[in-house]
Amino acid sequence: MFFHQLGYILSINKFRNTFIAVFVAFFFLYLYAIGNITTVETPRHGFKLVEDWQNNILKSRAAFVWEPIAVFFLGNVAVFLSLPNVLLAKILSLLVAANFTVSAFSLSLPKVCRISPSKSLLSAAPSLLTGFACCVPAFLVVLGSGTAAFISLFMGIRPAFIPISFILLISSLYWTVNKITEIRRSYEPAYR
């Protein structure tokens, strides 16, 4: 029933388009957050493949972040390609998009049953904090060293951020779809 409900929602043009848009947006946002998409000062065009790329595909840089094996330079934009990073980005984006879409669908249901789509973004938030700048989490570099007290705490739990995001996204999606199914059974005689 879960997949049936999900399939029904995605069969509606408006919500399928929402799904695709959120998928694409989060996909690029995640890759930007982990530094696989970035801007460079010196514009250039080209492609570079690292030597011995076959042995570097699964080389880890940090928990759930892998070394890139190629880079595309597109003017001032550099796209670093890591196959595991892309795969993880796709899976996270699918979950975020699904969460957002089913929540958006819930807005068409009776008012008391609506679920804010922003909750799906909250669930994905931990995954966006896994980017780091050498020794320091990237977002803390932006916030400044006043966050020093937080760093020890953050470092200890950062490896759990991706699993936490997965748990939140999957549980949220499952719960939301089931709620929608119950509500539709209550309010749509034809659905029973």
Tell me which residues touch other proteins (CB under 8 A): 35, 38-42, 48, 50-52, 60-63, 67-71, 78, 80, 112-115, 119-120, 122-123, 126, 132-138, 140-141, 144-153, 155-158, 164, 167-168, 171-172, 175, 179, 182-183
Closest to other proteins by CB, 24 or 43:
43
- The nearer residue to other proteins, 13 or 135, going by C-beta atoms, is 135
User: From residue 54, how far is each of 15, 41, 46, 64, 109 by CA, in Å?
Assistant: 40, 29, 21, 19, 51
The rounded distance, in Å, linking the Cα atoms of 135 and 4 is 46
Instruction: Quote the distance between the C-alpha of residue 109 and its chain's center.
Output: 26
Q: How far is the CB of 13 from other proteins (least distance, A)?
A: 26
Q: Which residues of 126-161 are buried (b: 16+ CB within 10 A; e: fewer)?
A: bbbbbbbeeeebebbeeeeeebeeeeeebeeebeeb
Min dist CB 77 to other proteins, Å, is: 10
In the complex with other proteins, the residue whose CB is nearer, 11 or 152, is 152
Nearer Cβ to other proteins, position 11 or 142?
Answer: 142
